[in-house]
């Protein structure tokens, strides 16, 4: 039978703890990667998806996020038929700002028929996960017709500026006679 000195036992225990700790960290990292890959991809969508309003009326749409994990920043364009609608106002949704301070920027271009929006958390904070409202856009129906509210150039970023995989669903509008 081999006898170990107390210093040898302490060293073996220390090495065992280090190996077990590294295995635990590796297992957690692999589980996180697998869960992220198996989870439904995030989705950005126009809500409500279908709008019916009369000429001369205003309406609002939310741009919502669903099933996102670790969102730190986002940006997108929303386009429409400029001969039928004008955007009146854009406001930041509460999804990121509920976590902390944000920088929110929007540009309305009714001549070309689009808005550009971007928002990011500020500081060294983790991203936000879940569902919520990114922004609200108010429109005015200036002519009869129908068309799409197209989400384009969408981008979602995590705190390390990595892309977050996502899907987009645009909306549509029609005017009533």
Identify the band that residue 27 occupies on the pLDDT scale cut at 50, 70 and 90: confident
What pLDDT, on the 0 to 100 scale, is given for residue 9?
Answer: 65
Q: What is the mean pLDDT of residues 27-32?
A: 68
Between 19 and 170, whose confidence is greater? 170
Mean pLDDT score, 24-31: 72
pLDDT tens digits, one per residue of 114-168: 999 999 999 999 999 999 999 999 999 999 999 999 999 999 999 999 999 999 9
Residue 14 clears pLDDT 70, i.e. is over it: yes
Residues of the chain by 3-state class (helix, strand, coil), percent to 5: 20, 55, 25
Query: What phi-psi label fits residue 24: left (phi over 0), alpha (psi between -120 and 50 degrees) or beta?
Result: alpha
42: β partners: 166
Tens digits of per-residue pLDDT, 99-114? 999 999 999 999 999 9
pLDDT band for 38, please (50, 70, 90 cuts). low
- What does the domain layout of the chain look like in residue ranges? 1-38, 42-176
Residue whose C-alpha is closest to residue 70's, from 166, 135, 169, 137: 166
**Tokens 């990292």, residue located:** 29
Where does 42-176 sit in CATH, by number? 2.60.40.680
Over residues 79-98, mean pLDDT: 97
pLDDT tier for residue 65 given thresholds of 50, 70 and 90: very high
* pLDDT for 45: 98
């Amino acid at each position: 039978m081999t006898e170990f000195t107390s210093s040898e036992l302490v060293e073996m225990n220390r090495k065992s703890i280090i190996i077990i700790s590294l295995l635990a960290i590796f297992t957690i990292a692999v589980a996180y990667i697998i869960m992220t890959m198996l989870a439904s991809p995030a989705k950005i969508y126009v809500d409500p998806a279908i709008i019916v309003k009369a000429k001369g009326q205003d309406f609002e749409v939310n741009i919502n996020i669903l099933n996102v994990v670790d969102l730190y920043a986002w940006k997108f364009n929303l386009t429409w038929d400029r001969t039928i609608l004008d955007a009146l106002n854009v406001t930041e949704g509460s999804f990121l700002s509920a976590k902390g301070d944000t920088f929110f920027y929007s540009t309305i271009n009714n001549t070309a028929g689009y808005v550009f929006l971007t928002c990011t958390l500020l500081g060294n904070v983790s991203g936000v996960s879940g569902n919520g409202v990114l922004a609200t856009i108010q429109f005015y129906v200036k002519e009869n017709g129908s068309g799409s509210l197209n989400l384009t150039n969408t981008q979602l970023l995590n705190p390390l500026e990595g892309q977050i995989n996502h899907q987009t669903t645009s909306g549509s509008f029609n005017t009533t006679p």
